[in-house]
Structure 1
Amino acid sequence: MSPAGFSFPFAPPVEAVTICDTTLRDGEQTAGVAFSLQEKCAIARALDAVGVAEIEVGVAAMGHDEIADIRAIRAELRRADPVVWTRLRLGDIDLAAETGVRRLHVAIPTSDRQVEGKLRTTRAHLLEDTGRILEAAVARGFTVSVGAEDASRTDPAFLGALGHVAQRAGAVRFRVADTLGILNPFAAHSLVAELTRQVPLPLEFHAHNDFGMATANTLVAAAAGATHLSVTVNGLGERAGNAALEEVSAAMEASGVATGIVLRDLPSLSALVAGASARPLPASKPIVGEYAFTHEAGIHVDGLLKDRRTYEAEVIAPDRFGRTHRLVVGKHSGLAGLCKALHDAGLPHEVGTASALIPLLRIWANEFKRPAGPDDLAMLVGMLRPTVVKGDPAQGNAA
């Protein structure tokens, strides 16, 4: 059962989903991002500790330095299964064998535009190559999942045919990739629902965020039958990025669907990846952003001070993520919030003082464009007439 007050438009058909993280592969493909081996190992350990079930640890075809890194990362994992990403090439399988990892994800371009424009082949030849190469990988002892690259622009009937070939060759899962991020939640639900009927394998969904819908598309994919969800920490990834691990796992847990993710550890994981990627988090980033649980507006702060439940839903309560509400003062502060901030700063905090301070605070906020801290409040209080500070606002606002 989902916690009170929260539900999705489509009820997920399962009680649990598997989180598959690709921060170390797709996340590092973000333009300008490069992780050192030390950073890769730290991220892998953190992903393992937070409860991620599968971690794409790299691309063996990048060469022997990458293979050495993958071997080192693999040694850091205690619970999560490492997965090596490959193309549909026997040479990639050979290189993956050198990593010591026994799980492969084989990516296969599937749209006609990619089959004809990138691979210079036909659907028939692609199906033949898929069966042959997957059988070879399975024969070598690999557990193999298959990814349909550009699935959102592919004929669903062809995806179904590819899924049957993959299943006969011994693959264990079929990934549906919205490679260009062109789906919306309605189209994502429709595509995954159709493929659950056509593909005889469990489905994984891999979303990109070009229209800002990766998290939403991932959630409705789960509602349509996807049992595995591909994500990255902080939504790192090509172009506009991927579905964010912290958003997807928090929302799935809020809906009553288990992910195995330790929600309280998400902020530290997010901070680690933000530092390693040199991509600072947006201040209002859901769940992990600095201001995600920060309130300034007078009506919100007044309500929270009286009863946290007025502006806090159980499913998104900050303590679920090891965080707390933060009340700040600024242009939109009301008397209740300002009186509390003055009290906490050890300053005069009578209603009269706060009332007289509000016009000055608004002028200050327009100029400095940040919350006012204790020193700022002390400076502003110092600008008030002494009679005002003593509680007589009728004497005027400023000295």
Structure 2
Amino acid sequence: MQYYVSPFNKEAKLKFPKKITIYDTTLRDGEQTPDVCLNPEEKLEIAKKLDELKIHQIEAGFPIVSNQEREAVKSIANEGLNAQIISLARTKREDIDRALDCDVDGVITFMATSDLHLEHKLHLSREQALNVCMNSIEYAKDHGLFVAFSAEDATRTDLDYLKRIYKKAEDFGADRVHIADTVGSISPQGMDFLVKELKKNLNIDIAMHCHNDFGMALSNSISGLLAGGSAVSTTINGIGERAGNTSLEELIMALRIIYGIDLGFKIKHIQELSKTVEKYTKLPVHNNKPIVGRNIFRHESGIHVDAVIEEPLTYEPFLPEMVGQKRQLVLGKHSGCRAVKAKLDQCGVEVTKDELCKIVEEVKKNREEGTYIDDEVFNHIVKTVRGPFDI
């Protein structure tokens, strides 16, 4: 058995769409994280690893930003990856031309639609914004591109206007529309309502692009799928502006293990992919980050360790090897005899019961005095208690 989750999950009788598309925007929205700048070689390596994972679409970048960005997107598009390669474009012909120069399969063209953005950022009326959007969609489709139209700040946009602009996008040939929850301001219940309302008017795919300002990006993405959406935007390690985006690894594993939706991803590559992005972005993954965090499969508490030694799934919902992680038993203040005995067995060292108890006592004492119990410290404790030994 590789995982064991609550049997009550199945009782909810949830219905997901038959086909779900995951498009990863680590190389575009993820790179918009303050202080992050990836060079073309780094972007290409991340794209290759996403392809190994079997991701459906890679949003490779925003070509109009710079010549180096154009070079990066073009190299990814011409690498022969299985994933569909798409790029971001403003609702401007020059942006779409730049995307075409990069040989991408498609574009995400976007326009802010909330009155807040229209008034204070774009200085456009609703009608002006609508006309600009349609011209760019039509131009991109005339050049044979897959086209997704993203309404920026969609979740704070007037519903009737949002319905109108999405329907217009469909009429002009858009293949998919994106709900951009630009500042993470919608709730899962709100997303459920919004997607269901849009489904009444639309006959094309609906995607969720969620930000994590209130820690609900993953929940909002799943809620959107259950309401009838069919695509989700993600980033590796959940990076992105402010609090980041929906985490790729969290979404994949939640769908697969909690909801029983296997999208065919090669999840053994998840940890390697996470480490690669951590390395190039220089954004450290928090120790308690779900799925890929350092502590996810590390155990110190004596009660937990005793059970994990006998059956790992007592304190792990799935086995670490599934995502390329490893289990680690950590010695410290909360360690008991069984954990210390397991460590001694690894070292090939035999001790008496009294020596074992003394070693446990010294482990606790050292940790409470501020010393981390690494191999060197542990070996010193054991040698102090029972004398020199060879490992």
TM-score, normalised relative to structure 2: 0.91
Which string of whole-angstrom CA distances, capped at 9 and with x for unpartnered residues, describes residues 61-90 of structure 1? 213332222111111242001101011122
In the alignment, what sits opposite 2:253? 250
SS of the residue corresponding to residue 189 of structure 2 reads: helix
In the alignment, what sits opposite 2:123? 120
Which string of whole-angstrom CA distances, capped at 9 and with x for unpartnered residues, describes residues 84-123 of structure 1? 1011122212222221223010011011101121111111
Which string of whole-angstrom CA distances, capped at 9 and with x for unpartnered residues, describes residues 31-82 of structure 1? 0011111101101111111111111111122133322221111112420011
2-side partners of 1:156 and 1:76: how far apart? 41
2-side partners of 1:352 and 1:185: how far apart? 56
CA shift at 1:366, angstroms? Answer: 2.6
Count how many residue pairs are aligned between Structure 1 and Structure 2: 383
Matched, 1:336 2:338: yes
Q: Of residues 147, 166, 170 in structure 2, which corresponds to 1:167?
A: 170
SS of the residue corresponding to residue 331 of structure 2 reads: coil
Mean alpha-carbon deviation: is it higher for 167-176 or for 135-144? 135-144
Stretches of structure 1 that go unaligned for 5 or more consecutive residues are 387-399
2-side partners of 1:3 and 1:327: how far apart? 20
- Report sequence identity in percent: 33
1-side partners of 2:322 and 2:236: how far apart? 18
Amino acid at match of 2:93: L
2-side partners of 1:307 and 1:141: how far apart? 54
CA shift at 1:345, angstroms? Answer: 2.5
Q: Of residues 202, 206, 209 in structure 2, which corresponds to 1:203?
A: 206
In the alignment, what sits opposite 1:266? 270
Conserved 8 A contact 1:15-1:258: no
Conserved 8 A contact 1:180-1:208: yes
CA shift at 1:15, angstroms? Answer: 4.1
Mean alpha-carbon deviation: is it higher for 226-235 or for 194-203? 194-203
In the alignment, what sits opposite 2:183? 180
Conserved 8 A contact 2:41-2:72: no
Mean alpha-carbon deviation: is it higher for 88-97 or for 376-385? 376-385
In the alignment, what sits opposite 1:320? 322
Amino acid at match of 1:240: A
Mean alpha-carbon deviation: is it higher for 192-201 or for 20-29? 192-201
SS of the residue corresponding to residue 148 of structure 2 reads: strand
Q: Of residues 359, 363, 366 in structure 1, which corresponds to 2:365?
A: 363
CA shift at 1:27, angstroms? Answer: 0.8
In the TM superposition, 1:90-109 aligns within 5 A as 90-109=93-112
SS of the residue corresponding to residue 76 of structure 1 reads: coil
In the alignment, what sits opposite 2:380? 379
Q: Of residues 304, 311, 315 in structure 2, which corresponds to 1:311?
A: 315
In the alignment, what sits opposite 1:213? 216
Stretches of structure 2 that go unaligned for 5 or more consecutive residues are none
Distance verdict in 2 for CA 1:12–1:366, change over 3 Å? farther
SS of the residue corresponding to residue 198 of structure 1 reads: coil
SS of the residue corresponding to residue 368 of structure 1 reads: coil
Which string of whole-angstrom CA distances, capped at 9 and with x for unpartnered residues, describes residues 4-34 of structure 1? 6363867242244211001111111110011
Amino acid at match of 1:355: C
CA shift at 1:348, angstroms? Answer: 4.0
CA shift at 1:209, angstroms? Answer: 1.3
2-side partners of 1:65 and 1:297: how far apart? 50
CA shift at 1:369, angstroms? Answer: 5.8
Amino acid at match of 1:206: H
In the alignment, what sits opposite 1:395? none
2-side partners of 1:65 and 1:258: how far apart? 36
Mean alpha-carbon deviation: is it higher for 209-218 or for 233-242? 209-218
SS of the residue corresponding to residue 369 of structure 2 reads: helix
TM-score, normalised relative to structure 1: 0.90
Mean alpha-carbon deviation: is it higher for 270-279 or for 253-262? 253-262
Conserved 8 A contact 1:185-1:217: yes
Distance verdict in 2 for CA 1:160–1:350, change over 3 Å? farther
Distance verdict in 2 for CA 1:299–1:147, change over 3 Å? same
Mean alpha-carbon deviation: is it higher for 282-291 or for 232-241? 282-291
Distance verdict in 2 for CA 1:241–1:318, change over 3 Å? same
Which string of whole-angstrom CA distances, capped at 9 and with x for unpartnered residues, describes residues 343-399 of structure 1? 2233344443232333322221133364x233212222344488xxxxxxxxxxxxx
1-side partners of 2:166 and 2:68: how far apart? 33
Distance verdict in 2 for CA 1:369–1:187, change over 3 Å? farther
Distance verdict in 2 for CA 1:228–1:181, change over 3 Å? same
Conserved 8 A contact 1:159-1:199: no
Distance verdict in 2 for CA 1:100–1:308, change over 3 Å? closer
Amino acid at match of 1:377: F
SS of the residue corresponding to residue 200 of structure 2 reads: helix
Distance verdict in 2 for CA 1:292–1:3, change over 3 Å? closer
1-side partners of 2:216 and 2:13: how far apart? 16
In the alignment, what sits opposite 1:43? 46
